[in-house]
Copies of this chain bind each other. A is one copy, B any other.
């Protein structure tokens, strides 16, 4: 599973893997090292008695945000580290992997649970690694393609959105045995539970996400210039940043293009719009006379679908949201912004120790996204899965599904 991370950086040079193109992103090299540090620290250092650190200077560099682990390199300076090199970090990965595998048979349950957590952590960083690479190459005026893509097969434009009635009344929400200490196939992050009952009001959900073509119509109708559609914070953001289209879109003579892992190409009007912020998602919904679903409405509907279906990440290569083939797909393509703030569920309590910093402390100011994207490793996401970002962030593969009261 950790091999996918290495495969993802195969097209990158040492220099490519060193760049940090904005504070929100991290160098590819850093992702490879940080996920390794996670295992080295919480498994090897803490549970293998005679383990010697691969390099004692590196934990300072590769701790992300664990206050309990002490001082660390400032996040915005991650791109100033030409050393250690990509090759050295690949060696680090190999050495730690080997040590973990050697220790595994004799590790206590608590440590094995941390290995499991480390694997899910790795998957999260595989997605971030892809989105950070995409951002990095987007700011280089040469706009190189990272992977070449096969020629696009034209598909029929999807028809108008259809509405499907949502589940209402009392429902069960959240992961049942959810705990980072579980090694069962039912792994879930702590923030996905406890499982609890919630009361849903009558509503309908769109049967697919919003397309690039629909988004272009929103732009053409002056959507980005009319404050009536926008949250106040969103309108400030649009004006301060001069936002007029989704991230990576550019107006060309003949229409809109977008930058992707396969370079710059014309937008596909049939494909789901992506790289929009919560502010944009909310403004679009307002313009369309609808609203965003709550995370509970989304989960209640998605629970009936197969999380392994849909366009998700299986192997390195260019990934991109694809046009809907019909049927209300809830998983893959784009993360769907919900209207729910990322806050703890009733009875939530962070786990003890350093890994208790994993989720709980981020529960202010962010919104929940659901469903996974084309860059989410298949098997990582599930109906109860809660992703979260700040409302202005949009370098992830984020999109929009509409909802309405009925």
**Chain A contact residues, CB within 8 Å of chain B:** 13-19, 21, 57, 60-61, 65, 67-68, 73, 77, 79-86, 136, 139-142, 144, 170, 196-199, 201, 203, 227-228, 230-235, 278-279, 282, 291, 339-341, 343-344, 346-347, 361-365, 367, 391, 405
Is the Cβ of A142 less than 8 Å from the Cβ of B83? Answer: yes
Decide: A82 near B346, CB < 8 A? Known: A231-B363, A233-B365. Answer: no
A-B contact pairs, 5 of them (CB 8 A): A79-B79, A82-B140, A231-B361, A341-B341, A365-B365
Distance between Cα atoms of A391 and B343 in the complex (Å):
13
Decide: A140 near B81, CB < 8 A? Known: A15-B15, A196-B201, A391-B365. Answer: yes
Distance between Cα atoms of A77 and B197 in the complex (Å):
49
Chain B residue contacts of A85, Cβ below 8 A: 13, 15
Chain B residue contacts of A201, Cβ below 8 A: 196-197, 346-347
Is the Cβ of A233 less than 8 Å from the Cβ of B364? Answer: yes
Is the Cβ of A19 less than 8 Å from the Cβ of B80? Answer: yes
Decide: A83 near B140, CB < 8 A? Known: A15-B14, A391-B364. Answer: yes
Is the Cβ of B18 less than 8 Å from the Cβ of A67? Answer: no
Distance between Cα atoms of A232 and B344 in the complex (Å):
14
Distance between Cα atoms of A391 and B342 in the complex (Å):
14
Q: How many whole Å from A309's CB to the nearest CB in chain B? A: 30
Q: How many whole Å from A124's CB to the nearest CB in chain B? A: 16
Distance between Cα atoms of A55 and B116 in the complex (Å):
49
Decide: A234 near B364, CB < 8 A? Known: A141-B73, A339-B343. Answer: yes
Is the Cβ of A136 less than 8 Å from the Cβ of B233? Answer: no
Is the Cβ of B364 less than 8 Å from the Cβ of A231? Answer: yes
Decide: A232 near B139, CB < 8 A? Known: A15-B82, A343-B341. Answer: no
Q: How many whole Å from A310's CB to the nearest CB in chain B? A: 28
Number of copies: 4
Q: How many whole Å from A25's CB to the nearest CB in chain B? A: 11
Q: Which 9 A/B pairs are nearest by Cβ-Cβ distance?
A: A341-B341, A67-B227, A15-B82, A201-B346, A199-B199, A15-B18, A16-B82, A232-B361, A14-B15
Is the Cβ of A57 less than 8 Å from the Cβ of B141? Answer: yes
A-side interface mostly: mixed
Chain B residue contacts of A196, Cβ below 8 A: 201
Chain B residue contacts of A199, Cβ below 8 A: 170, 197-199
Is the Cβ of A278 less than 8 Å from the Cβ of B15? Answer: no
Distance between Cα atoms of A19 and B27 in the complex (Å):
12
Chain B residue contacts of A364, Cβ below 8 A: 231-234, 278-279, 282, 367, 391
Is the Cβ of A82 less than 8 Å from the Cβ of B19? Answer: yes
Residue of B with least CB distance to A229: B361
Chain B residue contacts of A282, Cβ below 8 A: 364
Q: How many whole Å from A120's CB to the nearest CB in chain B? A: 20
Q: How many whole Å from A204's CB to the nearest CB in chain B? A: 13
Distance between Cα atoms of A391 and B170 in the complex (Å):
31
Q: How many whole Å from A186's CB to the nearest CB in chain B? A: 22
Chain B residue contacts of A19, Cβ below 8 A: 18, 79-80, 82
Is the Cβ of B278 less than 8 Å from the Cβ of A80? Answer: no
Distance between Cα atoms of A196 and B168 in the complex (Å):
13
Q: How many whole Å from A13's CB to the nearest CB in chain B? A: 6
Distance between Cα atoms of A291 and B363 in the complex (Å):
13
Residue of B with least CB distance to A171: B199
Of the candidates B16, B228, B340, which one forms a contact with A83 in the assembled complex, judged by CB atoms under 8 Å apart?
A: B16
Q: How many whole Å from A231's CB to the nearest CB in chain B? A: 5
Q: How many whole Å from A66's CB to the nearest CB in chain B? A: 10
Residue of B with least CB distance to A16: B82
Distance between Cα atoms of A83 and B232 in the complex (Å):
29
Q: How many whole Å from A9's CB to the nearest CB in chain B? A: 12
Residue of B with least CB distance to A87: B13
Chain B residue contacts of A391, Cβ below 8 A: 364-365
Q: How many whole Å from A355's CB to the nearest CB in chain B? A: 13
